[in-house]
Each structure stands twice: as structure tokens, then as C-alpha cells.
Amino acid sequence: MPGGKGSIVIYPNPAQSSALVTLQLTLPAPAEQIQVLLYTLSFRQVNEISLFNIPGGDTDISLPLFDRQGHPLANGIYYVVVRTSRERLISKLMILR
């Protein structure tokens, strides 16, 4: 991919009630869609956020630490996966309540 790979930073990490995901995307133009997926260590998907018309460069996304049914996620380590049409970024997030 031209221009290198993007990056993902999660703050705070470990988190308690919510986390802020900062993305550095290598998109030359706005992304039509970005998906932020939250997985357990066994890669069971627990939540998904879809965002539309996101500009390239730095983007902050608030990540609620709940499953799809609205229940708080248990203590532990999770994977945060960010997908665009051009790249996939993965980072770990620890939840300590």
C-alpha cells in the first residue's frame, strides 16, 4: 500500500468505562466506511461500530465498553480491529473495572 500503514492508539489502556480510539489513517481521501470491531481473545465478536464519511489523517472514536446487548464487558483483554477499504489495524485493549 502506498504511503505506509496507519496506526491505532487506545487511551486509557487499561480502561474502566470507555476508551478513546485514535486512528492515524493513510487514506488519501475520505473513507466511505470504517468499522471498529471488538473481539475477545478467542476472537468472538462482542461489539461493532460503523462510521461513514471519515476523513483521512487523525480520527478520534469513542469506544463504549459494552456488548451488543448493552451489557458491560467483563475484565480482560480484548482485540480492537479497525477496518477500512484499504487497511486493517489491530490493537489490544485491557478492561479493568
Could you tell me the CATH number of the domain that includes residue 51? 2.60.40.3080
pLDDT band at 7 (very low <50, low <70, confident <90, very high): confident
Domain presence at residue 60: yes
C-alpha triplet 64, 68, 73: angle, nearest 5°: 55
| Selection from 96, 50, 54, 53 nearest residue 75 by Cα | 96
pTM: 0.83
Domain presence at residue 2: no
pLDDT digits (tens, 9 = 90+) for 30-86: 667 889 999 999 999 999 999 887 776 777 888 889 999 999 999 999 999 988 877
Higher model confidence: residue 63 or residue 93? 93
In the chain the first and final C-alpha atoms are separated, in Å, by: 39
How far apart are alpha carbons 81 and 72 in whole angstroms? 19
The parent domain of residue 84 ranges over 7-95
The single-letter code of the amino acid at 2 is: P
Output the pLDDT for position 11.
86
The single-letter code of the amino acid at 27 is: L
